[in-house]
Structure 1
Amino acid sequence: MMKKELLNTMIAGLIAASHVSWAAPREALVTTAADQQSVAVTIYNDNLALIKDARRVAVARDMNQLTWRDVSAQMRPETAQLRNLTNPAGFRLQEQTFDFNLLTPESLLEQYVGQQVSVIRTHPTTGVDTRETATVLSTHGGIVLKFADRIETGVPGRLAFAGVPDTLRDTPSLVISLVNPTAGSQNLELSYLTGGLSWRADYVAELNARDDQLDLNGWVTLTNQSGAAYPNARLQLVAGDVNRVHDAQPMLRETMAKVADAAEMQQESLFEYHLYTLQRPTTLAQNQTKQVALMTASRVPVKKEFLLQGANYYYSGQHGELGQKIKVGVFVEFDNKGEGLGVPLPRGVIRLYKQDSQGNAQFVGEDRIEHTPKNETVRLKLGDAFDVTADRKQTDFKKLAGTSRYNAVFESAYEIVLKNAKPEAVTVMVREPMPGDWEMVSESQPHTKAASGMAEWSVSVPAGGQATLGYRVRVKY
């Protein structure tokens, strides 16, 4: 770490002094973000974005070599397309090169391997500088310098360089060779795909005191780690699973959090996906995370459910006790319809809160949802109930027929005791997956056949009390 800081200090002065010479190496035509007329950013779910960068550029007639600076560092150059919006006829591209070897103290020193640099030492007492010439032999794991009479490792002073190689740039750039039909200022648009831009949906909901309604707010969380900024961009988001060939992309890791002002996003269908458009320009700064409002809905009707989930393994063998104080899951569900809803909800996490007796909102659970079309049901597991538990046991088991497990007939009986320590009555859904060809022989209350291999009972449990469910089932394999 100390070596790196020392190296940065020695080279920083040279970089600042030579900035003018390396900002536009060789190429006659350079366009920067200052020429930008507009920028549009469409972000997909899987670390992918489409950039459309429109600029006003003065170009010559016939052959031009144009350096398009300030592009994404994670640009996929094979997807780049430059169009002339002013005079498209006769405009054609011949060659393009993506330069992403950025100027840093380390990369500058690496470019000088085998070349001479000046080593400047300052006398600690007099402050007088002395200068020696040395050849850079290696930069792997440190610096090796060859002087006229010796070889030294490390950095014995400040390093001065004759210049900056043309292969190093201060910002990622696309160098384009093109043929232009007419001279003058033209409206050019560069579009390309890039990594480093992502979005996700996050939802915050608050339950009311009776757990039968909630207020829901949806946010879009945007993260820009692409190596470029997109000022006053027209932002669109695509929700859906777009098929693509995956390539490994480098990832930057620094982020800053920022919450944007609330602004509704307009939704529309796009092919088999959904497109969300922010109704105002927004700036996506490099290494920044920001949030914009997606949707809001109030007083959404909610259904709360206590669920005891069974298993199918104990229907083909003798087991006895199957568990005591078994946890009962707590779920809530609501329909994606009504005022504020009835729109496609992008995949994301819904976090639920509820106010305590002091009026403070407390976190009560979260769950992830997939892309949810309008009018579909959203179901969330919040956790396991503390005051509602169950004891389950097998009270009888016998084999009625068959020589093996795969042509056998089994009959077994079960008892489930549901306990409720809450001050109010609750209803618990008991869900038992049934294997094979099954038939309910007897039961203490009627079941519902929810699916071909599923039996369900809705059991009411009184406040501070318990309820018992008993049933006998015959299973044929």
Structure 2
Amino acid sequence: MNAPMITLGVCMCAAACGIAETAASATSTAKDQKKVAITVYNAGFGVVRDERTITLPKGTVDLRFMEVASKVQPETVQIDAATAGDKLAVLEQNYEYDLMSPAKLMEKYVGKTITIIQRNDFKDARIPREATLLSFNNNQPIYSIDGKIAIYRGQEEVELPAMPENLVSEPTLVWLLDNAFEGAQTIIANYMTQGMRWNADYVAVLTPDEKTLNLNGWVTINNQSGATFNNAQLKLVAGDVQRVASEEYDTFGGERVYAMAAAPSRKAFTEEGLFEYHLYTLDRPTTLKQNQQKQISLLEARDVRTEKTYRCIGQNWWYRNKQGELIRNIKIAVFIAFTNSQENALGIPLPKGTVRVYKADSSGNNQFIGEDNIDHTPKNERIELKLGDAFDITSERRQMSFTRLADNMFEMSWEVKVRNHKDEDITVEMIEPLGGDWKITESSVPFIKKDAGTAQFNLPVKKDGEAVLTYTVRVKW
């Protein structure tokens, strides 16, 4: 008794495995590669410079330039005849990305004759049957066999007589060239590709007195371009480069790996200005594998002077109407700040990224205490990081009076209490976001007008003590 077709059809074979090549054709692979340079932008793309040595026949040549990034943007491809000069001309350029797969092979043979292999498990025999593939939708084949319709579940083994045209095993750039140069020549392909991204990750370790920190910067590079680049010269561009919006975009899957410096790192990049951006060049070749995340040291700075600030930030809506209840448990945010200057052990352009801050506990183990993002920061600019909210500092406020002076004018008095349960004196910045036209008529602590809508009170609070801020403000909306 013959058993039904049970062999998985992934092993479809073809009697002929290629499209007939003409005499004037050539293929180049990564084996021809002499140099490759990669420039990665933190906006999520890269620029590839692929230099190869190729020997081409004279005359019209169809060059298949293989093993390029599968996410190449073909409209950005440029070819440079470095050796041949004007003896090599590009007549036509194509990008072939109709990749070979079992489903694609079957789709190409709809309406054509193929061979289905039946197996007899008892006799260990393979029984071929000729069939016409009528349809292949949703990976479900329908055949005509001996004038009857046969429906299979896609588990049969299928043999195809030849490889269909216009299918490729990998994305390929194809150039039609007019070559008048004899012998080996250098051809350089430049192109942009999606699927490449880099960002900066910083590790800061506060000293026990919290007056200085040690900062290590790491570059995290993610390659999902569809190609591996061996021994590549690596450059990184930091800055907000303008690009025309496209319907296509890339997502970066997988888990990110964050740096935590366990040992001193050595600066590996040289920085220079590039137009209105900054360019970082790695001082050695490196390999970027497909689906790989790589981290390389960017900077190391020790004894960076820092300041810690406690800040209580109010709400604009508090000044719009009468507040009848006590407002409790107002969080006191904790910030640290430092200046990116040469005098402060830095003074270099810092690419945007995430700064993760640690501090050693009593046993000497570094513990994570907060993180914040920074934008691209030039030298001599101040960087401020919010690390979280203080546990041992509490605040509450009460509206003591509210008077309507006119339809659009109000006067109100506030009392704000801050309690400090720490074993040291502190100063809390009380930030009051006032709206409309405002005037503080009296206050228990001097205020600073930060801008048109903000008043700041610097409130000293003794250790294990309480401080009270009172003020009256007149607001016209």
TM-score computed with the length of structure 2 as normaliser: 0.91
Structure 2 residue aligned with 1:288: 292
Deviation at 1:340, TM superposition (A): 5.0
Cα 1:250/1:316, change in 2 over 3 Å: closer
Q: How many residues align?
A: 463
Describe the SS at the equivalent of 1:286: coil
Cα 1:243/1:131, change in 2 over 3 Å: same
Structure 2 residue aligned with 1:132: 129
Cα 1:419/1:290, change in 2 over 3 Å: same
Deviation at 1:476, TM superposition (A): 3.2
Matched residue type, 1:147: I
Structure 2 residue aligned with 1:3: none
Cα 1:14/1:116, change in 2 over 3 Å: same
Deviation at 1:475, TM superposition (A): 2.4
- List structure 1 runs of 4+ shifted beyond 4 angstroms: 23-27, 250-263
Query: How far apart in 2 are the matches of 1:57 and 1:263?
Result: 37
Query: How far apart in 2 are the matches of 1:150 and 1:317?
Result: 79
Give yes or no for contact 1:255–1:288 (8 Å, CA) kept in 2.
Answer: no
Deviation at 1:54, TM superposition (A): 0.5
Deviation at 1:251, TM superposition (A): 4.3
Deviation at 1:137, TM superposition (A): 2.2
Give yes or no for contact 2:371–2:386 (8 Å, CA) kept in 1.
Answer: yes
Structure 2 residue aligned with 1:75: 72
Query: How far apart in 2 are the matches of 1:307 and 1:156?
Result: 67
Q: Deviations over 1:415-461 (max 9, x none)?
A: 10001122222211101122233222111121122223221111121
Structure 1 residue aligned with 2:262: none
1:7-406 to 2 correspondence within 5 Å?
9-12=8-11, 14=13, 21-22=17-18, 28-141=25-138, 142-148=140-146, 149-249=148-248, 251=250, 264-321=268-325, 323-338=327-342, 340-400=345-405, 402=406, 404-405=407-408
Cα 1:254/1:12, change in 2 over 3 Å: farther
Give yes or no for contact 1:117–1:134 (8 Å, CA) kept in 2.
Answer: yes
Describe the SS at the equivalent of 1:422: coil
Query: How far apart in 1 are the matches of 2:420 and 2:19?
Result: 73
Give yes or no for contact 2:49–2:190 (8 Å, CA) kept in 1.
Answer: yes
Query: How far apart in 2 are the matches of 1:258 and 1:422?
Result: 36
Query: How far apart in 2 are the matches of 1:335 and 1:253?
Result: 33
Give yes or no for contact 1:54–1:187 (8 Å, CA) kept in 2.
Answer: yes
Give yes or no for contact 2:303–2:345 (8 Å, CA) kept in 1.
Answer: no
Cα 1:256/1:466, change in 2 over 3 Å: closer
Give yes or no for contact 2:11–2:157 (8 Å, CA) kept in 1.
Answer: no
Cα 1:424/1:259, change in 2 over 3 Å: closer
Say yes or no: does 1:428 pair with 2:425: no
Matched residue type, 2:423: P
Q: Deviations over 1:138-170 (max 9, x none)?
A: 222222222224412223531112222231111
User: Greater shift after overlay, 279-288 or 337-346?
Assistant: 337-346
Give yes or no for contact 1:256–1:289 (8 Å, CA) kept in 2.
Answer: no
Residue identity over aligned pairs, in percent, reads 38
Give yes or no for contact 2:12–2:157 (8 Å, CA) kept in 1.
Answer: no
Structure 2 residue aligned with 1:417: 417
Deviation at 1:106, TM superposition (A): 2.1
TM-score computed with the length of structure 1 as normaliser: 0.91
Structure 2 residue aligned with 1:441: 441
Matched residue type, 2:285: P
Query: How far apart in 1 are the matches of 2:27 and 2:69?
Result: 16
Q: Deviations over 1:161-194 (max 9, x none)?
A: 2222231111110110111221211100011111
Q: Deviations over 1:47-72 (max 9, x none)?
A: 22111100001012231110000111
Could you say what the CA RMSD is over the residues aligned between the two structures, in angstroms?
Answer: 2.3
User: Greater shift after overlay, 65-74 or 140-149?
Assistant: 140-149
Matched residue type, 1:444: S
Q: Deviations over 1:20-43 (max 9, x none)?
A: x44996672000010001111111
Deviation at 1:257, TM superposition (A): 7.4
Matched residue type, 1:224: N
Give yes or no for contact 1:24–1:30 (8 Å, CA) kept in 2.
Answer: no
Give yes or no for contact 1:70–1:171 (8 Å, CA) kept in 2.
Answer: yes
Query: How far apart in 1 are the matches of 2:247 and 2:287?
Result: 27
Cα 1:464/1:367, change in 2 over 3 Å: same
Describe the SS at the equivalent of 2:328: strand
Query: How far apart in 2 are the matches of 1:336 and 1:433?
Result: 28
Query: How far apart in 2 are the matches of 1:357 and 1:322?
Result: 39
Matched residue type, 1:442: E
Describe the SS at the equivalent of 2:128: strand
Describe the SS at the equivalent of 1:386: coil
1:453-464 to 2 correspondence within 5 Å?
453-464=453-464
Query: How far apart in 2 are the matches of 1:418 and 1:197?
Result: 49
Cα 1:469/1:331, change in 2 over 3 Å: same
Deviation at 1:224, TM superposition (A): 0.9
Give structure 1 stretches of 5+ with no counterpart: 1-5
Query: How far apart in 2 are the matches of 1:57 and 1:259?
Result: 41
Query: How far apart in 2 are the matches of 1:46 and 1:144?
Result: 47
Give yes or no for contact 2:267–2:300 (8 Å, CA) kept in 1.
Answer: no
Query: How far apart in 2 are the matches of 1:14 and 1:213?
Result: 67
Give yes or no for contact 2:444–2:470 (8 Å, CA) kept in 1.
Answer: yes
